Amino acid sequence: FFFSSRRRHTRLQGDWVQTCALPICHRIDVAAESLAPPETGRNFALVIGIDSYSGVWPALDNAARDARAIAELLRDAYEFDDVRLLLNAEATRTNILSQFEWLIENVGQQDNVVVYYAGHGDYQERMRRGFWVPVDAASRSIIGYIPNSVIRDLIRSEEHTSELQSP
């Protein structure tokens, strides 16, 4: 095991490390466990896709299909430990928020979470607020929506999350 960066060299020799910033070298004893790779956590996903809305919201064509494809990709290609999939009638306001509560209770500090939402959203200009529209939002009233700020707060409340990362 050997690193080199211009005039600095580090060599792993069994249970010790020799580090040199030429012309001086130091030998540092290290425990084997301190050289182990960092522990990786489990991978969780909450995937939501809604095509069939009730009330005033028009149907979408590919949201559920895309969500199903994302869930399969995460499960099969990336070997996610737990992929939670809510499609169409399952994606009620209550069920979506319940899944976030489940994540908060079950995700640990070393774990990773992906949240994917495909469905209608709404932006209220006067309020300067955006919302997810669950399948059971029957009107254009925000009463049945899920505010983006609530989603953000739920994600931040997870124990492992120190900073919200979004595209």
| Interstrand relation of 129-132 and 82-87 (parallel, antiparallel or unpaired) | unpaired
Burial of 39 (0-12, 13-18, 19+ CB in 10 A): exposed
- Sequence-distant (6+) residues with CB within 8 A of 40 are 110
Question: Could you tell me the pLDDT band of residue 21, with boundaries at 50, 70 and 90?
Answer: very low
pLDDT at residue 17 above 60? no
Instruction: Pick the more confident residue, 55 or 6.
Output: 55
Q: What is this structure's pTM?
A: 0.72
Instruction: Report the pLDDT averaged over residues 115-121.
Output: 96
Distance CA 118, CA 161 (A): 23
CB 107 within 8 A of CB 158: yes
